[in-house]
Amino acid sequence: MSRLLRRLRPFGATPGATVQGSRRTEGYHTKTSTTTTDDDVWKHAPTLKGSTCFEPRPDVKNIMITGGAGFIACWVVRHLTLTYPSYNIISFDKLDYCSTLNNTNVLSSHPNFSFYQGDITTPSSVLDCMERHNVDTVLHFAAQSHVDLSFGNSYGFTQTNVYGTHVLLESAKKVGIKRFVHISTDEVYGEVKEDEDDLLESSILQPTNPYAASKAAAEMLVHSYQKSFKLPGIIVRSNNVYGPHQYPEKIIPKFSCLLRRAQPVVLHGDGSPTRRYLYASDAADAFDTILHRGILGQIYNVGSSDEISNLDLCHKLVDLIRPPASSSTGASRRWIKYTHDRPFNDRRYAVDASKLRRLGWSQKVGLEEGLRRTVDWYSKFGESWWGNITHVLTPFPGVSELGEVVPDFEHDGRDEPWENGKRG
């Protein structure tokens, strides 16, 4: 794990580059990211967004969305840009290894869309973006979010998730932001036992891994700015989100790509931990609902009703992608392998989203339909959207001292789980 020393640095693009609609503004923009991609692949993909539409808020005009070229945020960027032409949407992104301009290139001709390449840990870039675009609203998605990497690269998670949030808050205070929506995670609550009730927003925070701890710390900063400086903030804690445009380091896109390559998937531990999954369009609707109907100073859980173990999820993906093989004897041994578990792996997370549902939000896409849509998208675009992804598909990829994602050649899969999830 010594090679997991720091996060991937952006390559080939200049911070502060901005493009608005089809016109270039002050600075300049380059679409070169950390990988080589098919420049036209986005032109062949469907334009995906949520379904909600509210009366535009009179106090919202220019919305800065951090991490806008990443997975969840790009759904929100597309949804708000296309649904609310009276809003100006500024996508602020470092263009790290897991983000790509393919996620928002479809918006390049829209006059209410701008892209600003910048790092949330650089105060001058954040403040320049807010002042240049007269930002009044911030949706803060940008974060290091891959739990596996946080066990060996914890300094990077603190730098981005805690210090980066602090930079945004301080800049928001300086320019007088009217609405600051901080996107957190249900992992801040820690593990929830099978016989325990779903957790309300008032539940105590008990994070169990460096990623979750960094997100909890960021929440404390948001809370402090709300109290000390009257910052108009909202905190959102969401469970796992999946769907098209998700970088294939997470279980559903990763395993979809492996099975499409006719390679087995490799589970951490015995595959028994469960997670709840929310399809990305429903997540976009949730954030749109909170933006328009959420009450300042409040916390909202975003939760799905679909809970499934990692092992059962693997079986569903095998059934979708390798149906002839899935019905044969020994299919599990052929397509599903095991390696050792994380240093600690929460058994499950479970949040109560009734507070959000009272605002009018509801989950529309169930797991079966969501997986079908996701698998179909990755079968068409998964191998070209981010360039070469082979290194990411190994069991425990890392980040080198040079800031490059490196494959894991040390952990081969085996037919049976490790005893107690660990090496014997």
Residue extents of the structural domains in the chain: 18-246+277-307+347-365
User: How do residues 83-103 score in pLDDT, each as one tens digit?
Assistant: 999 999 999 999 988 899 999
Superfamily per CATH, domain 18-246+277-307+347-365: NAD(P)-binding Rossmann-like Domain (3.40.50.720)
Q: What is the DSSP string of 227-251?
A: HHH---EEEEEE-EEESTT--TTSH
User: How do residues 360-401 score in pLDDT, each as one tens digit?
Assistant: 999 999 999 999 999 999 999 999 999 999 988 987 777 666
Distances (CA, A) of 53 to 82, 221, 244, 292, 342: 10, 31, 21, 9, 41
From the candidates 189, 211, 225, 338, give the one annotated as an active-site residue. 211
Say if CB 350 and CB 199 are below 8 A apart: yes
Minimum mean pLDDT among 187-196, 263-272, 322-331: which range? 322-331
| Count of Cβ atoms closer than 10 Å to residue 173 Cβ | 15
| pTM of the predicted protein model | 0.89
- DSSP reduced 3-state for 139: strand
Instruction: Compute the average pLDDT of residues 247-261.
Output: 95
Say if CB 240 and CB 374 are below 8 A apart: no
- Answer yes or no: 187 catalytic: yes
User: How do residues 281-317 score in pLDDT, each as one tens digit?
Assistant: 999 999 999 999 999 999 999 999 999 999 999 999 9
State the average pLDDT for the chain: 86
Q: Is 371 left (phi over 0), alpha (psi -120 to 50) or beta?
A: alpha
> Which amino acid is located at 179 in the chain?
R
Q: Per-residue pLDDT for 16 more than 70?
A: no
- DSSP reduced 3-state for 405: strand
- Name the token pair of 180: 């600051």
- 57 CB contacts (<8 Å, ≥6 apart)? 291, 292
- Answer yes or no: 186 catalytic: yes
Say if CB 236 and CB 272 are below 8 A apart: no
Residue 144 burial (CB < 10 Å; 0-12/13-18/19+)?
buried
Instruction: Compute the average pLDDT of residues 119-125.
Output: 97
Res 297: pLDDT: 98
Q: Per-residue pLDDT for 4 more than 70?
A: no
Instruction: Compute the average pLDDT of residues 235-255.
Output: 96
Res 149: pLDDT: 60
Higher pLDDT pick, 283 / 152: 283
Res 339: pLDDT: 83
Instruction: Compute the average pLDDT of residues 250-279.
Output: 93
The total number of residues shown for the chain amounts to 424
Closest by CA position to 306, among listed 285, 276, 351, 347: 276
Say if CB 303 and CB 353 are below 8 A apart: yes
Higher pLDDT pick, 85 / 326: 85
From the candidates 186, 201, 219, 408, give the one annotated as an active-site residue. 186
From the candidates 136, 148, 187, 219, give the one annotated as an active-site residue. 187
Instruction: Compute the average pLDDT of residues 342-366.
Output: 89
Query: Residue 341: which pLDDT band, with cuts at 50, 70 and 90?
Result: low
Closest by CA position to 283, among listed 55, 68, 50: 50
Query: Residue 342: which pLDDT band, with cuts at 50, 70 and 90?
Result: low
Minimum mean pLDDT among 9-13, 236-240, 275-279, 320-324: which range? 9-13
H or E element: which one contains 183?
strand 179-185
Question: Beta strands of 223-320 (E only): which ranges?
Answer: 233-238, 240-242, 265-268, 274-279, 299-302, 307-309
Res 10: pLDDT: 34
Q: Per-residue pLDDT for 324 more than 90?
A: no
Residue 171 burial (CB < 10 Å; 0-12/13-18/19+)?
buried
Q: Is 412 left (phi over 0), alpha (psi -120 to 50) or beta?
A: beta
Res 96: pLDDT: 87
Res 302: pLDDT: 98
Instruction: Compute the average pLDDT of residues 177-200.
Output: 95
Instruction: Compute the average pLDDT of residues 172-199.
Output: 96
Query: Residue 13: which pLDDT band, with cuts at 50, 70 and 90?
Result: very low
State percent of the chain over pLDDT 70.
80
Q: How far is the first Cα of the chain from the last one, in angstroms, to the nearest whole number?
A: 19
- Name the token pair of 115: 């892209």
Query: Residue 176: which pLDDT band, with cuts at 50, 70 and 90?
Result: very high
Q: Per-residue pLDDT for 351 more than 90?
A: yes
Which letter does DSSP use for residue 385 in this model? S
Res 141: pLDDT: 97
